Amino acid sequence: MDESDAALLGVVGVAVGVVLAAMAAASLLGLDGSAFRPFVLLAAEPFAWIVVAALVVAAVGNAYID
């Protein structure tokens, strides 16, 4: 696996992790309102996007450092 494949795998891993965390939050908060509520909260919160961007940078950086 070369650097670009590892970087792509890291970015996909971060995206899947965000989706799984939002789905877990939806199941914990209850699905009576909307299943998309955690995604709406994620989109509205700028700090969450900073954390997601930092995870993406770390995954890509780790792929190219090795």
Say how many domains are in the chain. 1
Within a 10 A sphere around the Cβ of 66, how many other Cβ atoms?
Answer: 8
pTM for this structure?
0.67
Look at residue 49 in the predicted model and tell me its pLDDT. Answer: 81
Q: Is-contact 26 35, C-beta < 8 A? A: yes
Domain that holds residue 43: 3-65
d(CA 22, CA 37): 9
In this prediction, residue 35 carries a pLDDT of 64
Cα(24)–Cα(32) distance, rounded to whole angstroms?
14
Taking only the tens of pLDDT, the chain with its 66 residues reads 778 888 888 888 888 888 888 778 777 776 656 666 667 777 788 887 888 888 888 888 887 776
Q: In angstroms, rounded to a whole number, what is the distance separating the alpha carbons of residues 19 and 30? A: 16
